[in-house]
């Protein structure tokens, strides 16, 4: 009788998690695209947005995952402190090194392969701390939703590696309006898809091995986008697009290495989880 009760509770918890994921992703897409699609159409000259609308539309796109997570908690009547992971900032030296070092290694490698004699100007290096701080404030709202809310629920149905791959693919689809924006430089759609999955694997690995730290996830996310700003300022839009294949290749190699070494659970312990 007790086993049956436990099974029923587990089944109900799974149903709640699945319902929460459905609400979360539907709202994350709807809210974000409500801001990003008009911005992309405006950049392409298809429509003309009033200046007063542009900043709210931009903010709406980035804040969508957190808005969706809060709404999903309300719908499913669950209780969760979505900000708890932001208190986990004591990562240890090697995890701080991985969090900041992988984006730098990836971008610098791509730059060396593309233009070995080029280097950033002093002004470019000087701007990076401010850019990084801005990116942290911007991307924490994504990671609260992606890793803070969606990932634990996704992992009720599959191992961490598979969950990361699924979330990476969904994140690629979520970013599609940016690929339609002519003002946003980048490589091909295929490169964007592969990068999104590889990125999700690495950030999930960091998240789990730092005790569920949203600080690690946000810092990694912000560092990658800060290095993208470095690429743009150093090599221009054409150089940025040209280097994306190398960025994707290096990121994918790191993700494969992580998966092979840490296994389906993306952590090293007795259970493999």
* Contact in structure between 185 and 42 (CB atoms under 8 Å): no
d(CA 150, CA 138): 18
Model confidence over 194-238: pLDDT tens digits?
Answer: 999 999 999 999 999 999 999 999 999 999 999 999 999 998 888
Mean pLDDT of residues grouped by 10 in the chain (273 residues)? 56 89 97 93 87 87 94 95 94 96 94 81 87 93 97 97 98 91 81 96 98 97 95 90 94 97 84 40
* Ramachandran sector of residue 166 (left: φ over 0; alpha: ψ -120 to 50; beta: rest): alpha
Q: What is the pTM of this model?
A: 0.91
Instruction: Measure the CA–CA gap between 35 and 41, rounded to whole angstroms.
Output: 11
pLDDT the model gives residue 164: 98
Six-digit token pair at 103?
């984006």
Residue 173, pLDDT score: 96
User: How far is Cα 242 from Cα 237, in angstroms, rounded to an integer?
Assistant: 9
pLDDT of residue 183: 75
- Domain spans of the chain, in order of start: 2-262
DSSP H or E segment with residue 253: helix 214-262
- pLDDT at position 7 is 62
Please report how the helices 214-262 and 189-209 are oriented relative to each other, as an axis angle in degrees rounded to 10. Answer: 100
Tokens found for residue 155 = 């992992």
Interval 109-135: pLDDT, tens: 999 988 877 777 777 889 999 999 999
Q: For position 273, what pLDDT does the model report?
A: 41
**Coil, strand or helix at 87:** helix
């Amino acid at each position: 009788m007790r086993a049956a009760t436990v099974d029923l509770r587990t089944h109900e918890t799974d149903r709640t998690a699945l319902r929460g994921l459905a609400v979360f992703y539907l709202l994350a897409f709807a809210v974000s695209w409500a801001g990003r699609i008009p911005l992309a159409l405006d950049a392409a000259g298809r429509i003309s947005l009033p200046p007063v609308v542009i900043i709210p539309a931009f903010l709406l796109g980035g804040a969508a995952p957190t808005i969706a997570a809060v709404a999903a908690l309300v719908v499913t009547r669950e209780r969760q402190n979505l900000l708890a992971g932001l208190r986990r900032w004591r990562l240890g030296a090697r995890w701080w090194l991985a969090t900041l070092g992988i984006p730098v290694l990836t971008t610098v490698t791509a730059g060396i392969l593309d233009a070995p004699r080029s280097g950033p100007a002093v002004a470019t290096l000087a701007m990076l701390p401010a850019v990084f701080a801005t990116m942290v404030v911007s991307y924490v709202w994504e990671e609260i939703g992606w890793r803070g809310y969606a990932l634990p629920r996704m992992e009720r149905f599959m191992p961490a590696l598979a969950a990361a791959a699924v979330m990476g693919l969904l994140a690629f689809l979520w970013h599609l309006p940016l690929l339609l924006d002519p003002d946003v430089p980048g490589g091909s759609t295929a490169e964007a898809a592969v990068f999104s999955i590889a990125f999700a694997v690495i950030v999930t690995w960091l998240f789990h091995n730092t005790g569920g730290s949203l600080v690690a996830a946000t810092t990694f996310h912000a560092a990658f986008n800060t290095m993208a700003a470095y690429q743009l300022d150093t090599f221009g839009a054409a150089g940025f697009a040209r280097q994306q294949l190398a960025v994707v290749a290096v990121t994918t190699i790191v993700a494969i290495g992580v998966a092979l070494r840490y296994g389906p659970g993306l952590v090293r312990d007795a259970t493999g989880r």
